[in-house]
Amino acid sequence: MAAIRHKRTRHDHASELAEDYVEAIADAIEQSGVCRAMDLVNQFAVTHATVNNTVSRLQRDGLVVTKPYQPIELTNAGRRLAAKARHRHQVVEAFLKRLGVSDRVAAIDSEGIEHHVSKETLAAMKRVLDEGWPA
Amino acid sequence: MAAIRHKRTRHDHASELAEDYVEAIADAIEQSGVCRAMDLVNQFAVTHATVNNTVSRLQRDGLVVTKPYQPIELTNAGRRLAAKARHRHQVVEAFLKRLGVSDRVAAIDSEGIEHHVSKETLAAMKRVLDEGWPA
DNA sequence: GCCTTAAATTAGCCCTGGCTAACTTTTGCC
DNA sequence: GGCAAAAGTTAGCCAGGGCTAATTTAAGGC
């Protein structure tokens, strides 16, 4: 309850979006070989201008590489982040389903929740998935 | 996986912050009778200028009422939102603890997670708390 | 009661993440 | 090969949520 919390807000929102993007980029590359801006436009339901903005920031932050009119590629850092995000996402989604939440809602909620799940909580979810609920 | 998701992002970030604020305001009022801007400054570790900004927006949105140099008060809508947020918060936090997560981490994670927990997921967590893990 | 100090307000700045509109480049079809 | 449509880029706008710095008001101690 003290003061040192809530470091989230701005900086963390940025990270969340970055994670969503690299995850989506990784998905697109896996599915069709490349990721074009339009894939992200469809995925996130924003305009191409917005995608361009965001991707520029990702590039600035060293997560992706793009050249004009070329597909979007992930850097090693981007790939690592995507893998981490995806893993967390999958664990959270599986956990919610196991909890009895419907597939549809589990898919939606896991996207929001995944960004706020610490290592410890993620480990606890994994444990339950593997070994059942703690006595 | 289609396009119609991700309505979050901006609008939802705003709502999250609003929920955090009304919850904190309700807490402060409960604990000390009134809520002053400084309480929020301490709670969220931001400057008074930022608190002022944010509280103005909350007032604009009908969640709080403030007069210059007066304590911050909640409207009925603000109180309702605070109660809802707190309830969700408590369920999520209790659930995480039950899951085996440490008190400290449960407190932190529940703050991030609570905003992304749908009615259905919240109900599932409550069910587990009351009736145990689903077979 | 004055005067310091704490609290609140105001103005002005920055970045993020949205948007529209106008333009350029690629692509693909005939 | 040319041309329309699709994709990408650029410029310029807006709101949210941060900040500093300067000012004003309220409170407390003496």
- The nucleotides of chain D lying under 7 Å from a protein CB are 6-12, 16-22, 25-27
CB B71 within 8 A of CB B109: no
- The pTM (predicted TM-score) of the whole model is 0.89
Burial of A71 (0-12, 13-18, 19+ CB in 10 A): middle
Structure tokens at B41: 């400054």
Q: What is the pLDDT of residues B77-102, one digit of tens each?
A: 999 999 999 999 999 999 999 999 99
Q: What is the pLDDT of residues A24-53, one digit of tens each?
A: 999 999 999 999 999 999 999 999 999 999
What rounded mean pLDDT belongs to chain B?
A: 91
- The nucleotides of chain C lying under 7 Å from a protein CB are 6-12, 16-22, 25-27
How many Å is the Cα radius of gyration of chain A? Answer: 17
Structure tokens at A11: 């900086």
- 3-class state of residue B11 by DSSP: helix
CA–CA gap between residue A62 and residue A60 (Å, rounded): 5
What rounded mean pLDDT belongs to chain A?
A: 91
Instruction: Give the confidence band of B13 by pLDDT, cuts at 50, 70, 90.
Output: confident
Residues in B closer than 8 angstroms to A127, CB to CB, are 100
CA–CA gap between residue B6 and residue A113 (Å, rounded): 13
**What's the pLDDT at A15?**
87
Lowest average pLDDT, out of A7-21, B39-53, B106-120, goes to: A7-21
Burial of B58 (0-12, 13-18, 19+ CB in 10 A): buried
**What's the pLDDT at B134?**
84
Q: What whole-number percentage of chain B has pLDDT above 90?
A: 86
